[in-house]
Structure 1
Amino acid sequence: MGDLVPATAKPKEGPSSIQCPMLTSTNYTVWAIRMTLCLKVHKVWETIEEETTDVEKNNMATALLVQSIPETLVLQVGTLDTAKKVWEAIKTRYMGVERVKEARLQTLMTDFDRLKMKDSETIDDFVGMISEIASKSA
């Protein structure tokens, strides 16, 4: 087990220990919230909100964004010259995916609402259809 540190102990000076979240194909919304906080903690969020001429802050924000995305996405946004452009490129790519998911979920909810057991179906058949819709929606 690790050593216990009293609550009154001062944190060590040096680089921040805050880690950026990793973006996956399914967590864009949560990633964006966490990344916003991470960029605010590092005092570089304004480079995303409004394109700034502060090269140091832009480089820090870009570095934080790039370390939190998959390699394949790094290759796609690597040529962009500002953190704001990188953020917008990521947002555009993943918000489209979110809209497709929402539309698909709406379709599945409609299918569920219309689902009725036919006289010729067994309970197992009907349960199978419900399970299929539940699996697809998950």
Structure 2
Amino acid sequence: MNLNSFQCPMLTATNYMTWAIRMRVLFKDHKVWDVIDPGSNNAEKNDTAMAVLFQAMWEAIKTRNQGADRVKEARLQTLMTEFEGLKMKEFETIDDFASKLSGISSKSVSLGEVIP
């Protein structure tokens, strides 16, 4: 079976009913609906059903993480701009300035980037 020959619907927070109907049609089209309801011990059908589900889940995970990567990049860019423009003010203590540097560094590390 070639799973690349069809497009799995993506499950979102608001489309469960539509997603479930489309997935049921896909399972029936690939003759594996009996794996889902009421269940099956047929290993080949189980593998096919799992492949269909994982493809649908993979697309949702991929989309969610790509969005998270964009947010992470934007946050890192903001931190780098803040870091590059950071200057110690006349009334600031060394401890206050060091605390700002440490905060920026910690946030950067938590986003996966070490400021050299």
Taking structure 1 as the reference length, the TM-score comes to 0.44
The 1-side partners of 2:59 and 2:49 are apart by 16
Structure (1/2) with the larger helix percentage: 2
Taking structure 2 as the reference length, the TM-score comes to 0.51
The 2-side partners of 1:118 and 1:130 are apart by 13
- Provide the alpha-carbon RMSD of the alignment: 2.6
The amino acid across from 1:61 in the alignment is A
What does residue 49 of structure 2 align with? Answer: 59
Change (3 A) 1:58 1:86: farther
Poorly superposed stretches of 4+, deviation over 3 Å: 51-58
- SS of equivalent to 2:87: coil
Mapping for residues 1-138 of structure 1, pairs under 5 Å: 47=3, 50-51=4-5, 56=45, 57-62=47-52, 82-137=53-108, 138=110
Q: CA deviation at 1:83?
A: 3.5
What number of residue pairs does the alignment pair up? 73
The amino acid across from 1:124 in the alignment is D
Asked whether the equivalents of residues 51 and 84 of structure 1 are also in contact (C-alpha less than 8 Å), the reply is no
5+ residue gaps, structure 1, are 1-43, 63-81
When Rg is computed on C-alpha atoms for both structures, the one with the higher figure is 2
For residues 98-127 of structure 1, the C-alpha deviation after alignment (integer angstroms, 9 at most, x for no partner) is 211111111001100000112221111110
For residues 36-62 of structure 1, the C-alpha deviation after alignment (integer angstroms, 9 at most, x for no partner) is xxxxxxxx9x73xx2465964532435
- % of aligned pairs identical? 53
